[in-house]
Structure 1
């Protein structure tokens, strides 16, 4: 049954992450290099402390251009209020959260530590696999 499928089974585990003291332009280069729109910010113990998005980076560059002081660190521009999900959350509940909100991906945390990320695409893959499995069982029986 789909409700028994957990976030842990479909989350991405190997992520690009930043530290709060990472130079903003270094972070922008990494986002561009990996073709991603944002990345989690973690402390030295791996605890999630924020997210840095393309929008955050643009704000940093524009505010720097306005005040003639471009640059700075990730901590100055990152978002610190981050919605997360646990590895034990079920796919149906997460699907509903994605449908209600604007988020396309959520960090997965366990005891405050970042352990992965789950995206709408990951959830769609889980639902598709479940539907194909169910369809196969119906045609066999």
Structure 2
């Protein structure tokens, strides 16, 4: 009878802990914002000069009122031409989208990516205690994805 070696059941190696990738860690905090009374032509100029496709409209308390986008401005141009109306008296308030979808800064970036796909938005504002604190864009989600290794979508 030979000596039998018995090795007990080995525990599975511990999985590395992954740090959640939160929206607040990838959102833009230095935002170009707009005001309701701002002239639409000035808003267009601001969009172009800053290389952005849209931005949040806030009041003096930095409370989110809406979003103005390039598409909103293009609608204004089209309407002004069609109805032969001057644009000098047109304001951001008349064209901004007031039905704004926000997301929580503590949401996982990949859950935010799913919302981008479902709702087809280009940006989501992040509001805390009624104040605009940031904005996450599709590009911010791409930046987060580039930090991941391989195809496992884990650190």
Do the structures match in fold with TM over 0.5?
yes
Alignment of 1:86-125 (within 5 A): 86-125=104-143
* Partner SS, residue 130 of structure 1: coil
Mean CA deviation greater in 22-31 or 96-105: 96-105
| Length-normalised TM-score, structure 2 | 0.78
| Length-normalised TM-score, structure 1 | 0.85
Residue 48 of structure 1 contacts residue 112 of structure 1 at CA under 8 Å; is this kept in 2? yes
How far 1:70 sits from its partner (Å)? Answer: 2.1
The structure in which a higher percent of residues are helix is 1
Q: Is 2:53 the counterpart of 1:37? A: yes
Alignment of 1:1-141 (within 5 A): 1=18, 4-71=20-87, 72-131=90-149
Return 5+ residue gaps in structure 1 as ranges: none
Q: CA RMSD in A?
A: 2.1
Residue 60 of structure 1 contacts residue 70 of structure 1 at CA under 8 Å; is this kept in 2? no
Return 5+ residue gaps in structure 2 as ranges: 1-17
* Partner SS, residue 70 of structure 1: coil
| Rg comparison, structure with higher value | 2
